[in-house]
Amino acid sequence: MSMDDYDALYAVLADSDIMQHYPYSFDEKRVRDWIDRNVQRYRTFGFGLWAVCLKETGEMIGDCGLTMQNIGGVIKPEIGYHIRHDMQRKGFAKEAAVCVRDWTFENLPFGEIYSYMKYTNEPSARSAMSWGCKFAYEFEDDVNEITKVFCITREDWECLISNK
């Protein structure tokens, strides 16, 4: 992801339907800051949110990747994703998250990967389960009221890939 992806990413992050479960709406500055934060994550950690692009055309339709997130007061590796509205429910979030999940377990020492969301964000919860996460716990907070946390362990991932 780079600033060249601004227009495509703005179409995703500024869409109020897509971001209805997010704590705030995105304007031009927040989208630019989002890109800058991810470029900084690449430098600091070697990973972040990456552009999700259609294989056939290269068109960017969203983002997906691994970030370090504060989940209930503990910094944990988390896979997040945002897919353009007209491309949702076509398996792109799952496909991207599976690639990020596999890359993470193959290249990093984490024993678990998380996905978390506002309790009302059922599509995101279904996506997390589609790439192997299980409901882990929920907690009350000021941002989401209630945050649901899903997790896949390295052991569960190893079972998944060995059964392919």
Q: Note the pLDDT tens digit of each residue in 1-19.
A: 999 999 999 999 999 888 8
Residue 22's pLDDT is 83
Q: Which of 67, 50, 71, 57 is nearest to 5 (CA)?
A: 50
Task: Determine the distance from the C-alpha atom of residue 64 to the mean position of all C-alpha atoms in its chain, rounded to a whole number.
Answer: 5
Residue spans per domain, the chain: 3-162
Instruction: State pLDDT tens for residues 26-62.
Output: 999 999 999 999 999 999 999 999 999 999 999 999 9
**CATH class of the domain at 3-162:** alpha beta
Q: Residue 69 has which token pair?
A: 């997130």
Quote the mean pLDDT of the chain.
Answer: 95
Q: What is the DSSP string of 131-146?
A: TT-EEEEEEEETTTEE
φ and ψ at residue 34, rounded to 5 degrees: -60, -45
| Model confidence at 119: pLDDT above 80 | yes
Task: Give the model's pLDDT for residue 146.
Answer: 94
Strands (E) in the chain, as ranges, are 49-53, 60-71, 74-83, 112-118, 134-141, 145-153
pLDDT digits (tens, 9 = 90+) for 70-92: 999 999 999 999 999 999 999 99
Residue 122 near residue 135 (C-beta atoms within 8 A): no
CA distance 5 to 52: 10
Task: Identify the three-state secondary structure at position 91.
Answer: coil
CA distances 50 to 54, 66, 67, 129, Å, are 13, 8, 10, 21
Q: What is the pLDDT of residues 97-115, one digit of tens each?
A: 999 999 999 999 999 999 9
